[in-house]
Every structure is written in C-alpha cells, then in structure tokens.
C-alpha cells in the first residue's frame, strides 16, 4: 500500500494532513472533512489487514456499531470506508494527547488524580457494555485527554475487527497468536477463551494499577512470559510498590484484576460505582486531568517534523499479535504481525529528595492540579529533551529495572543514576556571559514564538463535547474551554426533549477563544402546529419552517366549521409528532359539505322554513312573486331550486306567492260582492246584467275573473260583476190596483192595466212564479 501524504484527498472527502501516529496495525493522520469543514482524525489500517475480505466485513460492522455510541467519554466515530487500497476510520480529533504521553511527562498519579482518570474511562465502558460491546484493548494509549480536560476512550471494537483479519474470526489465531497489548491482556484473552465485559474490567484494573504505580504488574523476559504470568499470579497490591496507597485502592485493583472473571466487577458500571464509593469514602478532592504538554497530536498540528517515534509506535504499547508458544524474538514473517516486546513502564521519581505522589508539593494548594499532579513530578523523566537516544520512553535505562519498583530501596539507585549523568558546572566568566546571552536570545525567541503562536493557533480553542450533559454543566464546560455560551433550542429526531445534543460550532472544531458557542438543547421531534383562524397558507408555511417542516398544498376538503379558502386540516394532523424535515400536506376548506335543496312548493311559509332547516340549510331572504299555480302566502320554491346543491349551513332564498285569489261572489248582493272584492285587494267593476233565473235580480249572477282564479296584484286587479236581471213575478191578484203596481215596480217591472186602473186586481200576466227580466211589463186586470 502506497503511503498517504499531506494534501492527499481520501474518499474524495478527507484532506490528509500531518501523520500523528503509527502503530502495529494502523497509521493515524490529522485531516479535514471537506464536506463539513471540520478537523478529524483518520486511522488507516495496515495493508496486510486491508487486503483481507473477512477483516473488511468485520471492520465495517464494528465501525457501524461504535458509531452508534455517543457520549462525551468516548471518541466519536464519524465515518468508515474503503478507498481503493485504503481501509480507514474517521474519528473525532482530540487536541491534547494520550494518557501514555501524560504518564511519561508526569509519572505515577496520586489516588484522586488516578480515579479522576478512571471515572470517564469506566463511564465509557459502561455505555459500551450496556450495548453488549467489548473494547478488548484498554491501555493508556487508547485514553485521550483534550485541552479542555475531557478524558475519552478510543478504538472501541477495532481489536475485534483486527482479530478477524489476523485470526479468521477467533480471539486466538490458529498459529497461537493473541491480538492485544501484552501488559493489559486478561487471562481469558491469553487462553483464547470467549470474552465478556469482565475482560475489559481486568484491563481497566491493570490501567488503574499503572496510574498509581507507574508500571504494569508483570515483567518477564519475553512478551509470551509476561502474557502467561497472569494465568498463575495475582496482580500485586499497588501499596507493595509505592507506600501510602490507601487500602481501598488496593481492594479496587484486587477485585478488578481477579484471575477468575466471576469474582471481578461484572462490567464497567459496577467498577464505576465502586470508584465513586472509594472517592467518597476517602473524601478525595476533585481533579481536572491535564493534557500532556508535548504530544504527537500537538506536534502534528503545529507542523513539527515527525522525527521521533511516538507512544503508539512503541511495539510494546501497540496492538499486535502475540505468538504464544513460539520464540517471541523470531523475525516477522510476511503477512503476519510482529509479536510483542515486553510492555514498557513509566519511571518513578525517587522518594528521597524528590516527588512522591502522596506527599504533596510545598507551597502549592493541595486541591490544584499542580499540587495534586505537578508537572515536575520526576527529575528528567518526561521533560522535553530528557529523552535518551534509543529510548523512546525518554528515561535513562538505568533508572528502570525490569522488575516491580519499590518506594525506598530503589530511590537511592535512581538518584545515583541521575547524579552520574550530570555534567560539570561552568566555572569561568566567559562561559557565564555566554549563558546570559543565550538566555536573552532564548527569551526573545520565546516571545516571538509565543506571539506567533497566539496569532495563529494560540488564540483558538477546541469546542468541547457536551453531549449528554445537563444544560448548566454544558454551558459551564463551554465557558471553561474559554468561550462564551448561550442556549439554542433545536428539534431533533434522536435526542430527548431538553437534553443537550451538541454545540454550534460543533465539538472538535477550533474557534477563537472568547467567541460565542451555542449549546444546542433538543426540543425533541417537532409536532405539526395547529392552524389559526387568521392563518393564510403563507403564514402557516412559516410556522412549519420554524419547526424544520415543509408545506405542500393538498386537495381541498369540506368543512362545516372553517370558511372556504382557509386552512381546514393537515396531513399528518395538527399535534402529531413527526421527524425533522418532514413534509406536511396543507388542505384548504371548500366550505361545508353541500346538501340537496328540498322541495317546498305549495307549503306555507312556516312549513317551508322548517323543511329547509331540517335539510341543513338556513332561510335567508324571503321574496314574493306571482304564480298562477300557488296561492298567496304559500311557497313557490327556493333559490337555488329544489334538487340543486348548496353548501351545508348556507342561506337560501325562499320564494312566496303574492297571487290574489278571486273570491266567489256569485249570489251575493251587489253591495256585499263589492265589499268582499275590496277586502281581497281587488277592484269591483260593474258589468252588464244578465238573466239568470237562479239568481235574483240585484245579486251577482257572474264575475270575471271567475272565482278562485289567481291574479297578479302588480297587474290588473279588476273584477267585473254581472248582476242578475231575472225577477220572479209575485202574486198580486186580490190586491188593489195601486198596491199591485207599487209592488211590481219595486222589482223593476213595468205595470199595464187592461181595464180601469182602479179597483181590485183580478188577473196578472205573466202569472205567479214566472221569471221575467227587469223592465218587463206585467199586465193587470181589475174589477
């Protein structure tokens, strides 16, 4: 596999920067994600593994599983992939350094510092163990410390993927090789047994032992011997190496590193709870874990030459295949990983005249990081420039015997070693002046370098990871990192309501110190808002966009409550919880659902009104019109008409007849007939009399228009009356002539005497009961 160089573009996305570290199974580069414009770390796997299909499949599955873990105590995994011959993993870039580098700089830790490191490490294990994952390679190199004092566990699941490539799926290869780091292997890893969370617990116990003592417990002549020793021997108590270690710390280490997995802490959570209990019982002060001053990440980001082997390059500290039952010093075979060398350990400061992690530092507050874990923890060890050629640990070989270190007998040996390495002091004035000038020049160079550092990267800080914290702690963490903070609420599909889900700018990015970093608080999934009565499509669309949702105009729907043209409903319905970015269909109202107008012709106005309301409509206007078929006061119809559709609840017009029904006046006297017509709103008009033997003279014999005919009151309202002129001849015989004449003339008849006009009437013609017309003559005979 060809080497990646600064400026190369991996997977058409990740611009490769400086090489940070190189180990037995991978190389780590700083890089920039060109798509999201953020700094990341890219781990490129060894070509011997990348060529194997089984490894690639396992690598992809493990990376996906690890990417689902999201916690501030875990180094987040952003991406994984294959680009030609490169199999790579993209991770959060932690600007700081590793716990290995910190131990090299400062040596062993006092209890409160060691437990401050263990708490986030075990928290990370707890999160992973809860999902069934196992780390398999807990060691200081995989514990990273950021400049904001965050401790993070890295490389979850990668050992299992590597094991697939080397061992074809087993924890122990067919040729007896074990994948892992010798100093931290659990007994069951050495034996090739099935692994559980208790294997990580054992390795974490070794890590705690090393933090307290500065070394790993088993030191044999070969990596195989070191690996096998844990099968037959218990991890010694830290107090047997350094005096003053509390018994509670010894008990933590003893239980975590029990050779029987059944008697260890069951998982990271139980180990973490025990650490909390010891912290309370010992009343240990809080401690911010410092990042190492000189680290591979810093050198890479600051553009330093990659000249020295880094902690990850140290074969004793890298993840490799250990050949069990073979000579560990045999040369590497093609296609196979090199076996381990013995795990290195960290130098202890001599007890006499030097630093003891339990004695404190005079003149420094015991609660400060400087007092609890001073930078000058040991003479020469870990200081820049203190490294000896051929010793990547940076400590004089004579200061480190192969076996466990004890606090008293070894102190004099270390002090003597340091004394022998001292150079003679300068003794002449010239040399003194030279030293002064050198110091002045160095001070000027340092000032210029400091200014340049501040103008370039010094004024920038890394945005911390606050995911999972409460809001107050998240803001405090941001402010401790040198930024100002405020809260910004955002909708999220995956984060519970009111939980902290990140920052803007996102964590891992570098921003000017003092600039504002928003702590993003989840509003949970958005809900579809309720449309208001005054909302238009435009205003409601803005409401949706405020919740990350999009609007789409759907079909119109009927609504009995929402006016036509207003928003009647949505899909999903208002109040429904949806994913961010979802589309909501907005449905406008067509008004109420239409109903069929009922027929009301011929009904009285009251009855017609009741019929209309029963159909779901309302009577609006009532108008009068003429109809030759509908009597006055009854309904002619409606507008819209019968059988047509109208919106439910809408008003329709009721049409009432104003026709006048001509009354029947035949047989009535002319005066009464006239009175009745006038009461009906009609105008009586005299017509020619007619002879009707059935109707007495002076009474209405006929009328026009006829009775019951409907006439338009806005047109001709005249009714012609035809009186009858038929008179029934009365009986006048025996009456005096004068009396008879009077009676007949009163009926409109004329009288003629056939003889003398005096005397008694003895004859009449026509006779009694005859019908004659008014004006006819009646002839009378007298005696």
**CATH number of the domain bearing residue 583:** 3.30.10.20
Domain limits for position 754: 727-782
* pLDDT tens for each residue of 654-694: 999 999 999 999 999 999 999 999 999 999 999 998 888 78
Q: Identify the pLDDT of residue 465.
A: 93
pLDDT category at 178 given cuts 50, 70, 90 is low
Query: Would the pTM of this model clear 0.75, i.e. be above it?
Result: no
H or E element in which residue 758 lies: none
Query: Phi/psi at 204 (nearest 5 deg)?
Result: -65, -35
Residues 108, 160 within the same domain? yes
Number of domains in the chain: 6
Decide if 567 is inside a domain: yes
13 found inside a domain: yes
pLDDT level of residue 221 (50, 70, 90 thresholds): confident
Residue 181 has pLDDT above 90, yes or no: no
Give, as one character, the DSSP assignment of residue 508. T
Question: Residue 731 domain-assigned?
Answer: yes
62 and 185 co-located in one domain: yes
In a domain, 389, yes or no: yes
Asked whether residue 210 carries a pLDDT value surpassing 70, the answer given is yes
140: helix, coil or strand? helix
Confidence of residue 324 (pLDDT cuts 50, 70, 90): low
pLDDT of residue 322: 52
pLDDT value of position 156: 73
Residues with Cβ within 8 Å of residue 476, at least 6 apart in sequence: none
Based on the fold, state whether residues 679 and 755 are members of the same structural domain: no
User: 157: pLDDT confidence band, cut at 50, 70 and 90?
Assistant: low
3-state secondary structure at position 547: coil
Judged by average pLDDT, the poorest of 21-30, 226-235, 476-485 is 21-30
Q: What tens digit of pLDDT does each residue of 335-363 get?
A: 333 333 333 332 222 223 333 343 333 33
Q: Mark whether 703 and 737 lie in a shared domain.
A: no
Q: Which of 83-87, 291-295, 328-332 has the lowest mean pLDDT?
A: 328-332
In terms of Cβ atoms closer than 10 Å to its own Cβ (0-12, 13-18, 19+), residue 450 is exposed
Is there a contact between 695 and 724 (Cβ–Cβ < 8 Å)?
yes
What region does 572 belong to: left with phi over 0, alpha with psi -120 to 50, or beta?
beta
pLDDT on residue 5 = 87
pLDDT at 46: 80
**Is residue 235 domain-shared with residue 366, that is, in the same domain?**
yes
**Is a pLDDT exceeding 80 seen at residue 12?**
yes
What pLDDT does 222 receive?
83
In a domain, 2, yes or no: no
Question: Which of 678, 701, 724 is the last residue before a domain boundary?
Answer: 724
DSSP state of 651: E
Is 166 within a domain?
Answer: yes
Q: What is the dihedral of CA 60, 315, 257, 186, to 10 degrees?
A: 50
Q: In 503-561, which residue ranges form alpha helices assigned H by DSSP?
A: 537-546
Query: Between 109 and 352, where is the model more confident?
Result: 109
pLDDT, tens digit, 9 for 90 and up, residues 543-559: 999 999 999 999 999 98
In a domain, 385, yes or no: yes
Find out whether 717 and 684 touch, Cβ atoms under 8 Å. no
Could you tell me if 308 and 363 lie in one domain? yes
pLDDT tens sequence across 244-289 = 999 999 999 999 999 999 999 999 999 999 999 999 999 999 999 9
- Specify the pLDDT at position 437: 66
| One domain, residues 258 and 357 | yes
The pLDDT of residue 695 is: 86
pLDDT score for 560: 84
Same domain, residue pair 338 and 476: no
Distance from C-alpha of 451 to C-alpha of 443, rounded to nearest angstrom: 12
The catalytic residues are 137
Examine the pLDDT at 767 and tell me if it is beyond 80.
yes
pLDDT at 359: 36
**Same domain, residue pair 648 and 711:** no
Last residue of a domain, one of 360, 384, 415: 415
What pLDDT is stored for residue 194 in this prediction? 80
User: Residue 251: its pLDDT value, please?
Assistant: 97
* pLDDT tens digits for range 708-745: 999 999 988 999 999 988 888 899 888 999 998 999 99
pLDDT band at 306 (very low <50, low <70, confident <90, very high): very low
Flag whether pLDDT at 567 surpasses 50.
Answer: yes
pLDDT digits (tens, 9 = 90+) for 638-649: 999 999 999 888
Provide the pLDDT confidence category of residue 460 given band limits of 50, 70 and 90.
Answer: confident
Does 667 lie in the same domain as 732? no
70 with 216, same domain: the answer is yes
Among the residues of 528-662, which ranges form H helices? 537-546, 605-614
Task: With CA atoms as reference, report the closest residue to 270 among 66, 130, 117, 114.
Answer: 130
Residue that is last in its domain, among 468, 498, 522: 522
Reply yes or no on whether the pLDDT at 783 is more than 90.
Answer: no
Between 783 and 581, the higher pLDDT residue: 581
């Amino acid at each position: 596999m060809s080497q990646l160089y600064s400026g190369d573009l991996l997977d058409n996305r990740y611009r490769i920067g400086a090489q940070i570290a190189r180990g037995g199974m991978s190389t780590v580069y700083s890089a920039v994600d060109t798509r999201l414009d953020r700094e990341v770390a890219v781990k490129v796997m060894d070509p011997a593994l990348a060529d194997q299909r089984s490894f690639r499949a396992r690598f992809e599955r493990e990376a996906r599983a690890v990417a689902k873990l999201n916690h501030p105590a875990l180094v987040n995994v952003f991406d994984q992939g294959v680009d030609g011959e490169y199999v790579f993993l993209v991770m959060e870039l932690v600007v700081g350094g590793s716990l290995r580098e910190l131990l090299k700089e400062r040596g062993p830790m006092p209890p409160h510092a060691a437990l401050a490191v263990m708490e986030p490490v075990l928290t990370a294990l707890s999160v992973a163990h809860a999902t069934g994952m196992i780390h398999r390679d807990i060691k200081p190199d995989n514990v990273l410390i950021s400049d904001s004092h965050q401790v993070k566990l890295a490389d979850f699941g990668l050992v299992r993927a590597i094991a697939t490539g080397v061992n074809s799926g087993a924890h122990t290869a067919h040729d007896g090789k074990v994948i892992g780091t010798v100093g931290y292997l659990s007994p069951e890893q050495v034996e090739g047994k099935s692994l559980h969370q208790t294997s990580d617990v054992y390795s974490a116990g070794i890590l705690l032992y090393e933090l307290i003592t500065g070394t790993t417990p088993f030191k044999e002549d070969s990596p195989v011997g070191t690996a096998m020793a844990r099968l037959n021997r218990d991890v010694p108590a830290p107090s047997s190496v350094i005096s003053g270690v509390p018994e509670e710390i010894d008990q933590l280490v003893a239980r975590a590193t029990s050779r029987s997995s059944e008697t260890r802490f069951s998982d990271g959570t139980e180990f973490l709870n025990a650490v909390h209990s010891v912290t309370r019982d010992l009343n240990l002060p809080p401690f911010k874990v410092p990042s190492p001053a000189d680290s591979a990440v810093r050198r890479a980001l600051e553009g330093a030459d990659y000249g020295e082997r880094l902690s990850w390059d140290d074969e004793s500290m890298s993840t490799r295949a250990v050949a069990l039952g073979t000579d560990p010093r045999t040369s590497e075979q093609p296609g196979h990983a090199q076996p381990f060398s013995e795990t290195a350990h960290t130098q202890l400061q001599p007890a006499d005249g030097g630093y003891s992690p339990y004695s404190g530092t005079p003149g420094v507050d015991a609660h400060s990081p400087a007092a609890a874990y001073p930078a000058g923890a040991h003479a020469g060890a870990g200081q820049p420039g203190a490294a000896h050629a051929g010793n990547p640990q940076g400590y004089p070989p004579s200061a480190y015997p192969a076996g466990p270190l004890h606090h008293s007998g070894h102190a004099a040996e270390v002090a003597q070693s340091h004394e022998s390495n001292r150079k003679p002091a300068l003794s002449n004035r010239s040399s003194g002046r030279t030293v002064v000038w050198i110091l002045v020049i160095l001070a000027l160079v340092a000032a210029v370098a400091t200014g340049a550092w501040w103008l370039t990267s010094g004024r920038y800080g890394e945005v911390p990871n606050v995911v999972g914290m409460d809001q107050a702690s998240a803001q405090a963490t941001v402010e401790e990192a040198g930024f100002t903070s405020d809260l910004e609420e955002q909708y999220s599909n995956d984060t519970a309501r009111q939980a902290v889900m990140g920052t803007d700018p996102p964590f891992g990015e570098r921003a000017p110190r003092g600039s504002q970093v928003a702590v993003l608080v989840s509003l949970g999934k958005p809900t579809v808002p309720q449309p208001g009565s005054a909302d238009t499509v435009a205003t409601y669309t803005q409401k949706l966009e405020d919740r990350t949702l999009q609007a789409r105009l759907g079909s119109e729907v009927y609504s009995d409550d929402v006016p036509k043209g207003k928003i009647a409903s949505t899909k999903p319905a208002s109040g429904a919880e949806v994913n961010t970015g979802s589309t909501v269909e907005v449905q406008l109202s067509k008004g109420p659902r239409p109903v069929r107008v009922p027929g009301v012709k011929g009904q009285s106005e009251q009855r017609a009104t009741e019929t209309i309301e029963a159909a779901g409509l309302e009577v609006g206007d009532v108008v009068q019109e003429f109809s030759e078929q509908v009597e006055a006061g009854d309904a002619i119809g409606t507008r819209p008409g019968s059988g047509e559709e109208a919106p439910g609840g809408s008003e329709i017009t009721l049409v009432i007849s104003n026709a006048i029904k001509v009354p029947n006046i035949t047989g009535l006297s002319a005066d009464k007939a006239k009175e009745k017509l006038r009461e009906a709103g009609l105008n009586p008009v005299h017509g020619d009399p007619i002879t009707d033997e059935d109707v007495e003279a002076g009474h209405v014999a006929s009328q026009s228009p006829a009775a019951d005919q409907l006439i338009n009151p806005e047109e001709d309202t005249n009714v012609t009356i035809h009186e009858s002129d038929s008179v029934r001849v009365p009986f006048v015989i025996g009456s005096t002539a004068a009396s008879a004449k009077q009676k007949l003339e009163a009926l409109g008849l004329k009288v003629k005497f056939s003889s003398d006009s005096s005397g008694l009437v003895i004859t009449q013609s026509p006779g009694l009961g005859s019908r004659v017309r008014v004006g006819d003559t009646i002839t009378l005979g007298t005696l």
